Amino acid sequence: MTERELMQAAQDARKNSYSPYSHFCVGAALVTKSGKLYTGCNIENAAYPATVCAERTALFKAVSEGERAFQMLAVVGGKEGETAEFCSPCGVCRQALAEFCPPDFPVLLGTPAHFEKYTLGELLPHSFTSENF
């Protein structure tokens, strides 16, 4: 799977966003080291703290099915009904990713047409991990 295809998978996952409160739709696509794809969207709740982001939806789907080794993540987001814009993972998602992914784990942000590649270490420097125990 190419980086552009992974971004397109995140864009497609964005269509399933349940975001009646923020009207901000996010999709994420996570590919495992074995090449399996897991996608997610943000899922909001009337009780706001019960909301979950697209990135954690994809990650938890994968982990709940036994996956532990990941190759790359793509995130696409923006206001409902508009072309996606640059959307960066929130701090909670960065921390959740750091549980399973090393600092050099690539994260693609932007749109399928134009995206940038970051590392998880750039997005979450000095993260708290199991090595801190």
Beta carbon nearer to Zn ion, 90 or 113? 90
Sheet with 70-79: strands ordered across: 37-41, 24-32, 70-79, 106-110, 115-119
Catalytic residue among 44, 55, 67, 80: 55
Give the nearest distance from C-beta 90 to Zn ion in angstroms. Answer: 3
Burial (CB count <10 Å: 0-12, 13-18, 19+), residue 81: exposed
Q: Verify binding: residue 45, Zn ion, rule CB under 5 A.
A: no
Residue whose CB is nearest to Zn ion in the complex, by number: 53
In Å, how far are 38, 61, 74, 78 from 84, measured between CA atoms? 20, 23, 13, 5
Q: Decide whether 89 or 112 has the Cβ nearer to Zn ion.
A: 89
Phi/psi for 124 (5° steps) reads: -140, 75
Residue from the set 53, 62, 75, 108 that interacts with Zn ion by CB under 5 A: 53
Active site residue 55: yes
Of residues 79-108, those binding Zn ion (CB under 5 A): 90, 93
Token readout for 4 is 């552009």
Positions in the binding site for Zn ion (CB under 5 A): 53, 90, 93
By annotation, the residues acting in catalysis are: 55
